[in-house]
Amino acid sequence: MKQEKILIVGAGGQIGVELTLALRKVYGTDNVIATDIKEAHPLLKDSGPYAILNAMDAAATHALVKKEGITQIYLLAALLSATGEKNPHKAWEINMQSLISTLDLGVQEKLTKIYWPSSIAVFGPTTPTSNTPQQTVVEPRTVYGISKYAGELWCQYYNQRWGLDVRSLRYPGLISWKSEPGGGTTDYAVEIYHEALKHKKYTSFLSENTYLPMMYMDDAIRGTIELMEAPAEQMKTRMAYNLSAMSFSPKEIAAAIQKHIPDFTIDYAPDFRQAIADGWPKSIDDSAARADWGWKNEFDLDSMSADMLKHLKEKMLQTV
Ligand code: VAH
């Protein structure tokens, strides 16, 4: 079997850092080239091949693919929901142009696989909010959600038209300690752990009963690799698969933290991101992913909170 050589575009983001580290364990460090528009994230610095690459530069990406003999691309570069609403045209341009040029590259260079993340943000206020099905009303109200659903349709088109093996997941909010989130509406669920340890208090930018689908990054990374390694015949959809693990509200995550930090307090000051969250599902039906390629989450709110606080405490001690 030909050795896979993977290019990660947007390796410096919340998913990219962890996916790079995980893929290097599977395929070997030298077979996973990490790239981003900025200098290497501290966890990627001196840890394997790295190059500065703008996801919008199709020519530079093509040259790197040919020079390195790349066989797979993971395209993670994107503007997320909150940032996208501040720069709607830039978000559409970056999220779509980088995808289309990557799909074209996949066909031209006969890449074996492409991964491109979608999000539960594709759903909108007209979508059933509880246990949202894999196929349902999809009317996103953010540019991020519009770009992600349009992108899913392009992925499906390139698969049907040219047989490109491109796969995708509708991630819920992702919570991680190794890498920082950037510009998302669910970022409160990461900030709260840092603030709980630093200041024993947090002001949430979402109201206390705002339920959203969420997942620990460990589960998201494992699920992504399991999706990409599943036989192609198990892919029953070439849109993105719904993926989920849990749903919780700011009030519930605060209570989970208080089991470890009893005097932690939370208050609420909803901002523009409340309207984005209000348009998203409260919970997701990911039975298709579980049936087609064996997806199963391992972390729940309590086990995630224990793991987050343990690692963040260790990380903070290292930086003292
Ligand atoms: C965001 N973290 O908040 C992303 C995610 C479901 C939300 O796609 O924009």
- The domain locations on the chain are 6-172+215-242, 177-214+246-319
The single-letter DSSP state of residue 42 is T
Q: Which residue out of 50, 74, 115, 144 is catalytically annotated? A: 144
For 174-215, the pLDDT digits (tens) are 999 999 888 999 999 999 999 999 999 999 999 999 999 999
Averaged pLDDT for residues 229-249: 98
For 282-299, the pLDDT digits (tens) are 999 999 999 999 999 999
Ligand 1 center to 23 CA (angstroms):
22
Percent of all residues in the chain with a pLDDT value above 70, rounded to a whole number: 99
For 54-91, the pLDDT digits (tens) are 999 999 999 999 999 999 999 999 999 999 999 999 99
Question: Across the chain, where does the E strand assignment appear?
Answer: 6-9, 32-36, 50-52, 72-75, 113-115, 118-119, 166-167, 169-171, 173-175, 201-204, 212-216, 241-242, 246-248, 265-268
pTM value > 0.95: yes
For 10-42, the pLDDT digits (tens) are 999 999 999 999 999 999 999 999 999 999 999
Percent of all residues in the chain with a pLDDT value above 90, rounded to a whole number: 96
C-beta of 132 in contact with ligand 1 (< 6 A): no
Evaluate whether 11 touches 49 at the Cβ level (below 8 Å).
no
Q: In this structure, how many other beta carbons lie within 10 angstroms of the beta carbon of residue 249?
A: 18
Is pLDDT above 70 for 147? yes
Categorize the per-residue pLDDT at 320 as very low, low, confident or very high, splitting at 50, 70 and 90. Answer: confident
Instruction: List Cβ neighbours of 247 (8 Å cut-off, separation of 6 or more).
Output: 172, 211, 212, 213, 214, 282, 283, 284
The sheet that has 246-248: what strands, in order across it?
173-175, 212-216, 246-248
Is pLDDT above 80 for 216? yes
For 114-140, the pLDDT digits (tens) are 999 999 999 999 999 999 999 999 999
Evaluate whether 81 touches 145 at the Cβ level (below 8 Å).
yes
Categorize the per-residue pLDDT at 2 as very low, low, confident or very high, splitting at 50, 70 and 90. Answer: low
Mutate to test the pocket of ligand 1, among 85, 87, 119 (most ligand atoms within 8 A of CB): 119
Q: In this structure, how many other beta carbons lie within 10 angstroms of the beta carbon of residue 275?
A: 14
Categorize the per-residue pLDDT at 173 as very low, low, confident or very high, splitting at 50, 70 and 90. Answer: very high
Q: Which amino acid belongs to residue 223?
A: G
**pLDDT of 1:** 59
CATH homologous superfamily for 177-214+246-319? UDP-galactose 4-epimerase, domain 1 (3.90.25.10)
**pLDDT of 182:** 87
Tell me which residue has its CA closest to atom 8 in ligand 1: 119
Tell me which residue has its CA closest to atom 1 in ligand 1: 184
Categorize the per-residue pLDDT at 231 as very low, low, confident or very high, splitting at 50, 70 and 90. Answer: very high
C-beta of 185 in contact with ligand 1 (< 6 A): yes
Q: Does domain 6-172+215-242 have CATH number 3.30.1320.10?
A: no
Alpha-carbon 313 to chain mean position: 24
Mean pLDDT over each residue of the chain, to the nearest integer:
97
**pLDDT of 46:** 87
Evaluate whether 172 touches 310 at the Cβ level (below 8 Å).
no
Instruction: List Cβ neighbours of 320 (8 Å cut-off, separation of 6 or more).
Output: none
C-beta of 247 in contact with ligand 1 (< 6 A): no
Structure tokens at 73: 């691309």
Cα–Cα separations (whole angstroms), residue 125 to 23, 128, 129, 141: 36, 8, 8, 8
Concerning whether 171 is annotated as a catalytic residue, the answer is no
